[in-house]
Structure 1
Amino acid sequence: MFIRNLFTRSLKKGLVAGLASLMLAGCQGGILDPKGQVGADEKYLIIVATLLMLIVVIPVIVMTLFFAWKYREGRTHEIYAPKWSHSTKIELVVWIIPIIIIVILGVITWRSTHELDPYKPLVHEKDHITIEVVSLNWKWLFIYPEQGVASVNELAFPTDVPVEFKITSDTTMNSFFIPQLGGQIYSMAGMETQLHLIANEPGSYKGFSANYSGEGFTGMEFNAIATPDEAGFDAWVNKLKQAPDTLSPATYQQLAKQSENNPVQYFGQVSSDMFHHILNQFMHGHQGSEQAAHDAHDLHAMSDKMTMETEK
């Protein structure tokens, strides 16, 4: 009875794994449907690592099913050898094959870690553009320092042009993720992280936060638009420049308030160094300088008061 149950469970697991593989093979719009070089490299890495691990997984599943069938209830004629305890050949197979796979995976991991370093600029004939990203509760702010515009829950960049993202957070930790273009990286208050991506095909790709950040997390999505050429990107920038709103420290305070399912919003002008203003509001050095100035003001006032009392 035990062998029969084991066989049944193993068969169910095998069917589930097969169905999951079929579903993944047909998925669209995710990490297995890359539209950029970084995403394509990561897909290749996932497939290679999975195939290497299946070298161990598939034989284990096959042998489990085979032994469950071979020694099932009623097979009384099978040889029973209770005193058998060791086989050098089996030990060699059990240990050598996994060690070889681990070494191969280690080499691949070492190389890919350096080649796919999110802080490493992409080698390309065209100069990269810079986009500054701020995660808010619960929306995304994108600042274009070179173009002097900003947007909420929508960003754009030309196809076949590398993009440097500088990322921070105004609130809790989030994760900036565009699955079809490449890996995610965290956004943290008072810290700047970086991510370099490129789109090799024009289109609109879904982006979101891959790190749970509270009540409005599910609506924290945006569209990443890869325009067919740089002229299309310039037209998008000009559309933003027509917007009447200006992103300044004052308007930013209103924008930073919590809101769910925030609509797309454009800012035709951006105050200079706005990204660093957001970044530095949580920096210890910035807070320390403000505290020092406050303490100096109090000390100066106390000194004046003592001087006046002395003169009296």
Structure 2
Amino acid sequence: MTNALTYKHNLAHVLKATDSVVDLGFDWRPDLWPWLALPPAHPVVVEKYQYFATMTASWAMGTFSPETYTALTMFEWHCGEAALGRNYPSRARCENWTETGAMGFKLSVSDDQGRNMFHSRGQGFAFRDRDFQQWREKSRRSALQARHVLEVDTIDPQLAGLGPDGCSFVTAVIDRVGKPAVHARVPSQGGFYPQHPFHTGSGDHVNAAQLLDCALQAVHVFSGDAQPWSQPRLCIGGQAQFQRYVELDVPFEITLDEALSDQAQLRFSQAGRDNVLLRLDLQPQAD
């Protein structure tokens, strides 16, 4: 859930726009965007660039107004070799499509030399004819009842692929009918900058970037053998399907449905219902 009021500033600006294609530039301001301390290919960085680029392009194309609340339902991406360096994206091209009750985008993001950093595509919808606040209150009610059912004892951040000063949202591994899982919780107080090192957002729910962060932490816990990571796994792509909002302050579960050496398929559930299906594509580890 978001609209133009979510942030006071905009990472993206329009360079050229038509009815169907928008070229964008980015204002690289680490003082405004703390997640720019992360590597360029980190899924949190990819999602934030995707968010600002597609929202700004949609406003420019008239897909929806800046005041309209929107929700992302599917997002997939793949990083190019340029994203594995130290430079951050400087340009993007966004194409939108709309159908009855749905809308989507294709996004290509590049560096100053025009090298591809990542491609992404996604789908979502706009809350044009619905009382958003009333709908949100109803949708979060059942999850909030489970707020105190489980105490989440988060793991040492170094076991989750983070630095010693990182912020872990996940627990050690538990077993769920033969499949490994972790519990997790993103607090409303402590889950956003400046209490958190880099997460930003509306504070209405656990946002896409926080879910991607939780997923990458969980992958490290599942494959880390309870040892600190000297070289964390690098995510180079993936796909997320958002079915229901994950609520802040309420424990949820991340189950490893399938694992390969270079891929992990995860399922997020909260209050007995599946919320998110998320796949991370990982750079193969050196032998």
> Quick check: which has more Rg, 1 or 2?
1
Give TM-score scaled by structure 2 length.
0.25
Give TM-score scaled by structure 1 length.
0.23
* Greater share of strand: 2
* Greater share of helix: 1
